[in-house]
Structure 1
Amino acid sequence: MDDGKSTLVGRLLYDTKSVLADQIEAVQRASVDKGLSTPDLSLLVDGLRAEREQGITIDVAYRYFSTPTREFVLADTPGHVQYTRNTVTGASTAELAVLLVDARNGVVEQTRRHATVLALLRVPRLVLAINKIDLVEYDEGLLRAIEKDFAGLARSLGFADDAVQTIPLSALVGDNVVDRSERTPWYDGPTLLGHLESVPVVGPEVAAPFRMPVQYVIRPRTDDLHDYRGYAGRVASGSVSPGDAVTVLPEGLSTTVTHVDTADGPLESAAAGRSITIRLADDIDLSRGDMLVAAGTEPRVTSEIEATLCWLGDKPLRPHARLLLKHGTRTTQVMVGAPESRVDTETLTEVDTDTLALNDIGRVTLRTADPLPVDDYADIRATGSFLLIDPPSGNTLAAGLVGNPLSVITRT
């Protein structure tokens, strides 16, 4: 909070010319009304009235921009502990996270909290953006000390050294954001945009075993496609090709892929993230909610799941509550056991608890009405995650992660 996230996002949009002229004019007018001599670029993303009045980010602000090299979806998430659930939302689908620290303050409690959430959700790459370096006179020694301090925290949370890039910058004046700053001759690393354009974004899901939850069974009723039976879905991990042996879960039936179809024609192979229709060699009773997986790499099929919950609901968790669990394309009833522990984000330890409140992260055991094919979240994010839903209202109460993805957290 107050470290300049929205200003940094605004600077990226402004310097990459991803903002319309009328938006820039509106920001300039609002900045003049506030008595500022330079445009307040945070106004480009802080759209809620409460955010502008308080000068903080509350909601998750999604912005889209592109360069000749890549297209980006950028989520500006809150820093305040009160909005940890919004941080979880933004991090849950991220391929890279930019974590800001104020150069004047260094690594603080909220830095540790956000790094813990990023490690918990297995965000594979991280940028430590040391912001407001203009306010510390571009002091190299101070910035190197912050980098060293955070490196120890990152290692303790399981981040590899090559997964973390430190970039000193000033979002307000633009140092090392899009253009390299002449005021940091001692820094020979990339600018923030340069790093975003060049960092590898092939996630671990690509190399993982094949998984595809079935969304829909396609049976055209036309003369030329009378015998067509296809199973449509989005590849959650791995890849699939005609001739691959697959298993249908939770039934455990085995068959072979004969065709991989798309609206644009057949494919020789489809990888994670691709929406496809699969045809199989055998007529199998297969419907929405089932999962196709690579033979020989089957996940466990179970009705009892040890999981980590990020509690998103305003009302606290009631032990032994009966809720709905959505995993992939299947929704089933579930009973939530009493919480075993929760994460204290200030001390980075697990402490005993008997409930989970808004923004808490804790461990529980779940019992589902139907057996589910689940992977550990640490292995495959897509099939190791789920949602808990309130049956009467349909509201999402928690984001769940199978297993204990933050095993480095110590128990007190």
Structure 2
Amino acid sequence: MAPLSIALVCFANMFSVGTIYALSALQGQLPRLVGISEAWSFVPFGMACMGLSMGVATCASMIAQRGAYATAASGTTLWGLAVIGAGFFLSRVNFEPMLLCFLLGGLGVGWTYLAVVVMVGRAFPNLALARSAIGPMGFSSGAATCFFLSSIFELSIVDAEILGRALTRAGVAFIAVGGATQLMMIPGYTINDQSNSPKNTPLSRRERFLSILLFFNALPGMTAFAALLPLVSYYASERQGDSMTLLSYSMLALASGGVLAPTINLHLGARNAFVVLFCVRGAFLVLLSQFEQSTLGLCAFLTILFAHGTGFSILPGLVKAKGIPSELFHHSYGRILVTWGVVGILGCVLNTAISSSIGTMSVASLVLGLLMLSFGIVLYFVPTPKVGFLPSWVSAEYLQQIGRLAES
């Protein structure tokens, strides 16, 4: 298959499952449509994140057995079926079965995301921009499209039946993407050396470190994605224009993070890049906790989205930096990505606590800001003898010496 065709297939799948980041558009209408509290409206995203963790944890074995294309096709199809199911139950004002649908849908999102990362890595081994940008651009485009359509059709006034039908149509479109991906699958595009894949082994020190890094990097973003509409409505209440339209344009920050990640990584190095991302987000969040201004709130929000996309784009390179065989990359990265879903659940819990009292918004911003600043400072000053995370002037001999000392 031509590289352009592979890129389009990968983008289409990321676009489809990236709509998980737009669940806030539905979340904002659930209290009105199905009669639940605002705190319960965050649960669908939390269930999807739980499924996401399960998906990335089980994806490696699927890729080994069926190949990346078939795994991505299965994940996108499952997400489409889940969206159809959610629309069906929403039209009947039945909230509880919707949660099961989003749990299964999150499972599909995890399959697709990791499989597409593998597909892009193989198709563009020497093109860092393609590997970095397709994921964030797909997710941001999918979410932006949902917010844009929500603005056009004014979800705030539609009933449950109309919105349910809209979800059903979206689910059918996602299934079509999954089916087309399956039809375009490259024969024999599988990982046949399953005997070398480690099973049920504990996380290595490097995987634990990268999981912690992912936890702190994804925490502000996943907390924001769990409640995009309430957050933007709260901080942009003084501005003209529809919140959904503003959310559509804000997704450009997420895409920009993926596009600029290779340049940032090249000039700063992975370690310094993450230090800057943590400290800038932390500074904005701490300031926002003290001065709740509209402009400052939007700047903090856009910075969080940009850093979210940048961090996810840099992370696969850090996983590969140790020189692990290509057939084991998906196994190691999948174990690390479990943290992604866990952070999403934690973000929902945090938003549930905030919804009980709007006065806690500044407290949550302060706590997140201090966490970001603290981790950024620790990351800068504490030695981490890991390949790909040290300054370029550190020699290979120094790394070997540090490694021998650590093992002893």
Higher strand share: 1
Could you tell me the TM-score, scaled by structure 2's length?
A: 0.21
Q: Which has the higher helix share?
A: 2
Higher relative contact order (CA 8 A, sep 6+): 2
| Larger radius of gyration between Structure 1 and Structure 2 | 1
